[in-house]
Amino acid sequence: MNVNKDSYLSLGSNIISRSENLNTAITLLADHKFINVIKKSSIYESEPLYYENQKKFLNMVVMIETKLDQLDLLKTCNLIERKIGRKITNYKNRERIIDIDILTFSQCSYERDNLIIPHPRIHERKFVLMPWCEIDPEYFLFNYKKNIISLLNCTKDKSKVIKL
């Protein structure tokens, strides 16, 4: 097992018990023997992006430490999604009981096996940037050469995101 690596995850839900889905995901992350949840943002309600004909999402960002590598963390996140009831479909950006995205992994860059780190759409998602800014506004994303608060201040995303 590797040494602890820090990682930021984005969680979202827009069907069934949205806040319960987020809390269950955090509990399952924290219960994993190689994951330690360090910080979690408040919950934010956001308008759907990309495919707008669906219910509003609840979103949050969590910081974790993990001894897992990137692919094992992805497998763990996917397993947690399935445990909560997510069904895998070919429809991107549609309603879902839970979605867990790996935003960063220990300031490294990774691209293969259906995983890109840092997440390629961080800069265009206010529903990620606002909660992340709450817990670590100065986190520096090397691929953008900006910190989270700077990305939030210059995002083109004009959707409505409200802290609950």
Give Dmax (Cα) for the chain.
Answer: 44
| CA–CA dist 67, 73 (Å, integer) | 9
pLDDT at res. 54? 86
Q: Which domains does the chain have, with CATH numbers?
A: 5-163 (3.30.70.560)
Beta bridge partners of 102: 9
Q: What percent of the chain has pLDDT over 90?
A: 84
Could you count the other beta carbons within 10 Å of the beta carbon of residue 16?
13
The mean per-residue pLDDT over the stretch 103-116 comes to: 91
Q: What is the pLDDT of residues 49-64, one digit of tens each?
A: 877 778 999 999 999 9
pTM of the model: 0.94
Q: Which two tokens stand for residue 141?
A: 């994303």
